[in-house]
Copies of this chain bind each other. A is one copy, B any other.
Amino acid sequence: MTVLAPGLLGASIAQAVKDRGVARRTTVWARRPEARLECAERPWCDAIAETPEDAVGNADLVIVCSPVDTIFPLVKRIGAALSPGAIVTDVGSTKSLITRSCHAVMPDGVHFVGSHPMAGSEKSGMQFARAGLFDGRPCFITPLVKSDPRAVETVVRFWRDLAMEVATISPERHDEIVANISHLPHILACTLCAYLASKDPNWRNFVGAGFRDSTRVAAANPSLWKSIIEQNREEVVRAISEFEDHLQGIKAAAANEQPFEILNFLERAKVYRDRLRPTDGELQRPGTTGSASP
């Protein structure tokens, strides 16, 4: 296996792969020489390569972990260096552009299958890596109709070996879903922060745990998210527009003093939220985090 551009996700993958014996040998390439030196000292790294081409020469499976805007350039660059039958996948949060462009530049006999493991954090960087990052979390695999079925099966098996719950869907459907459940919430959290940044700075001192939780994702890396928004522009804009309609609705109910509409809205929201599966983090801290008091 080869991991290209290990950050939080790539390093966590390599660590989980080592812990679970999923690959015989893991080769790593990182863009910055310091990062390569750092990787060389980690137990999950069996070999370091100076270039992406060198890194992939012997790999059966290559996992590209760079930001979404650099996945295609990297995949294009390594194409000719891949050994016959090699499979390339990625961990990018957007899939339509990446899957179709990467598939198109693959030489004969090697395969690209897009992946999006829904794990991570607002923190980025290898120092936050942990093997358990993927346990029980969802992972999208986004094959094309023309994708090689055995390559798809290998990628599915790989993420299942890391204890992920795999869902196979089209790249377009993926981008619609994540625009709504991930990119829209991210933009809302950022908009809330950017909005409050325009207000009295002292208000910062009064925010409660509810606000902190609501906006935690806004601490994520801005340039990573800029690329995600750009790559999923159409779906993101559509999701924002539909959200705006709903927000308009509740604003009108409040402005027009419609108690039943307000209550109905709050009840629908609670039913939806209560039905979400708890995550590890929430199971560990039942009822201990506070919010602004109702």
Contacts and interface: CB of A to CB of B under 8 A. Distances in A.
A184 interface: yes
B177 A266 contact: no
Interface stretch (A16-24, A98-106, A154-162, A224-232): A224-232
- Chain B CB within 10 Å — which of A205, A208, A294 has the most? A294
Interface in A246-274: 246-248, 250-251, 254-255, 257, 259, 262-263, 265-274
A168 interface: no
Contact of A182 (B120, B208, B255): B208
Given A196-B181, A294-B221, A269 B120 contact: no
Nearest to A123: B287
A208 B287 contact: no
Nearest to A282: B212
Interface residues of A, number: 115
A47 interface: no
Contacts of A207: 181-182, 276
Given A180-B203, A203-B180, A285-B284, A214 B189 contact: yes
Nearest to A289: B281
A197 B292 contact: no
A33 interface: no
- Chain B CB within 10 Å — which of A186, A199, A206, A265 has the most? A206
Interface in A172-216: 177-178, 180-182, 184-200, 203-216
Contacts of A285: 281, 284-285
Nearest to A246: B195
Contacts of A116: 293
Nearest to A236: B254
A118 interface: yes
Interface stretch (A52-60, A77-85, A237-245): A237-245
Contacts of A213: 213-214, 216-217
Contact of A216 (B123, B138, B289, B293): B289
B230 A206 contact: no
A170 interface: no
13 contacts: A120-B291, A121-B291, A178-B206, A185-B210, A190-B250, A191-B243, A213-B216, A219-B273, A220-B270, A236-B254, A243-B247, A284-B285, A285-B285
